[in-house]
């Protein structure tokens, strides 16, 4: 009789990094499809270019550091797709490529690759282009323009290193009268006009490529949570804390602060809560730490939106919470089974 000696673990669920990452990519495909349906060619090209530049950056990094090929773990793909979904659809493609390279190199490779990165790489890329090209990243194109499947938004095809053309004229030619070029959050902040929940659900708002349909993001996120590819506690605590805080503000001063539904559905909060805050490499692992991490994101988002200079706070809220993650883990170590109470 032959005996095989092995150390644990003896059983593997079959879920390794590539499987999880691939499923997250699948879950984002409907959001991409909706974005393309809304914005046409420009959104498709943006998603493609950003993802390809992320993959290229990863490949070049593999080549330089002589490491194994890490393209096959799908993490660079996921970074690229998330990054593209957080950018405005009229974003020039060359800037999208810059964002892709910045996210992989500054956000991941420099820290030692997947799992070593303290910050969400996609958000690092977005923060970089937000600091580099503040005008382009706050220029929004109207959704459902007439010729969206046959022609690009003019700013998409800007030559590399050149300033994108003004799209206000183009928007007028599309026969859209009421186009303001501002996101609902900006309109609320500067003009105190709140958008209706119905507009958010059907995507009739100006926003980043992938954050217009809250209901679709919710469904895709729920699918991932149901299959246990993401930790349901993170989105619940992010959305719950944001909603609770917004509700308190709304109760105190209803004419000054918008309704909690508006806060939940507008901007990138849905996308951030389901797809960015839940990044496994950058979120805490202890149960209490996870709840606190989510609450921190929700609270910071509302605080930045209400009192900060920016109209949207999800990106910086998640980056700050990422930085706080290890500390939250350290302070919230669970009691070891059999250990004394009150001691960690």
In 3-state terms, what secondary structure has residue 281?
coil
The set of residues, in sequence order, having a beta carbon less than 8 Å from that of 121 and lying 6+ positions away, is 79, 103, 104, 107, 108
Q: Which of residues 100-119 bind another protein (CB under 8 A)?
A: 106, 110
Q: Near another protein by CB under 8 A, which window of 6-14, 160-168, 220-228, 318-326?
A: 160-168
Q: Which of residues 21-80 bind another protein (CB under 8 A)?
A: 64
Nearest 10 degrees: Cα torsion 103, 104, 109, 115: 90
Selected from 131, 226, 248, 323, the binder of another protein by CB under 8 A is 131
Q: Is 289 exposed, middle or buried (0-12, 13-18, 19+ CB in 10 A)?
A: buried
Q: Does 163 bind another protein (CB under 8 A)?
A: yes
Q: Residues for the chain: how many in total?
A: 344
User: Least CB distance from residue 91 to another protein, whole Å?
Assistant: 12
Q: Identify which of 206, 218, 320 has the alpha carbon closest to the alpha carbon of residue 275.
A: 218
Helix (H) or strand (E) holding 51: helix 41-65
In 3-state terms, what secondary structure has residue 326?
helix
Q: CA 298, CA 256: separation in Å to the nearest integer?
A: 19
Q: Does 327 bind another protein (CB under 8 A)?
A: no
Selected from 132, 146, 248, 251, the binder of another protein by CB under 8 A is 132
User: Least CB distance from residue 243 to another protein, whole Å?
Assistant: 33
Selected from 34, 39, 128, 200, the binder of another protein by CB under 8 A is 128
For 235-251, give the DSSP string.
HHHHHHHHHHHHHHHHH
For another protein, the closer CB: 154 or 203: 154
Q: Does 133 bind another protein (CB under 8 A)?
A: yes
Q: Does 146 bind another protein (CB under 8 A)?
A: no
For another protein, the closer CB: 162 or 198: 162
Q: Near another protein by CB under 8 A, which window of 9-17, 127-135, 213-221, 267-275?
A: 127-135
Q: Which DSSP letter does residue 208 get? A: -
Q: Near another protein by CB under 8 A, which window of 24-32, 54-62, 125-133, 222-230?
A: 125-133
Q: Which DSSP letter does residue 212 get? A: S
Selected from 164, 210, 260, 289, the binder of another protein by CB under 8 A is 164
Q: Does 193 bind another protein (CB under 8 A)?
A: no
Q: CA 315, CA 305: separation in Å to the nearest integer?
A: 11
User: Least CB distance from residue 131 to another protein, whole Å?
Assistant: 4
Selected from 8, 14, 161, 177, the binder of another protein by CB under 8 A is 161
Q: Near another protein by CB under 8 A, which window of 7-15, 37-45, 162-170, 255-263?
A: 162-170
Q: CA 237, CA 243: separation in Å to the nearest integer?
A: 10
The footprint of another protein (CB under 8 A) covers 64, 95, 106, 110, 128, 131-134, 136, 158, 161-164
């Amino acid at each position: 009789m032959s005996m095989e000696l092995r150390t644990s673990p003896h059983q593997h669920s079959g879920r390794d990094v590539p499987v999880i990452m691939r499923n997250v990519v699948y879950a984002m495909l409907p959001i991409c499809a909706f974005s393309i349906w809304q914005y046409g060619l420009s959104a498709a090209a943006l998603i493609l270019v950003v993802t390809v530049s992320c993959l290229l950056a990863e490949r070049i990094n593999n080549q330089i550091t002589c490491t194994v090929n890490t393209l096959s773990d799908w993490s660079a793909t996921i970074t690229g797709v998330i990054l593209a979904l957080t950018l405005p659809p009229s974003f020039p493609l060359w800037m999208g490529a810059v964002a892709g390279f910045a996210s992989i190199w500054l956000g991941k490779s420099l820290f030692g690759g997947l799992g070593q990165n303290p910050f969400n790489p996609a958000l690092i890329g977005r923060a970089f282009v937000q600091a580099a090209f503040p005008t382009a990243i706050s220029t929004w194109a109207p959704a459902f323009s007439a010729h969206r499947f046959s022609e690009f938004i003019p700013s998409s095809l800007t030559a590399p290193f050149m300033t994108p053309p003004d799209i206000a004229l183009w928007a007028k030619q599309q026969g859209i009268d009421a186009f303001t070029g501002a996101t609902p959050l900006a309109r609320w902040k500067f003009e105190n006009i709140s958008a209706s929940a119905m507009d958010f659900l059907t995507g009739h708002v100006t926003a980043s490529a992938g954050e217009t349909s809250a209901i679709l993001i919710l469904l895709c996120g729920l699918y991932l949570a149901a299959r246990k590819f993401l930790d349901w506690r993170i989105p619940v605590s992010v959305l719950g804390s944001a909603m609770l805080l917004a509700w308190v503000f709304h109760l105190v001063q209803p004419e000054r602060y918008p309704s909690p539904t508006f806060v939940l559905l507008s901007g990138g909060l849905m996308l951030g809560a389901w797809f960015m805050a839940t990044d496994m490499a950058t979120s805490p692992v202890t149960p209490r730490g996870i709840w606190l991490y989510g609450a921190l994101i929700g609270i910071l988002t509302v605080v930045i939106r209400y009192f900060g200079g920016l109209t949207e706070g999800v990106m910086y809220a998640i980056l700050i919470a990422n930085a706080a993650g290890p500390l939250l883990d350290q302070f919230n170590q669970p009691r070891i089974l059999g250990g004394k109470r009150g001691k960690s």
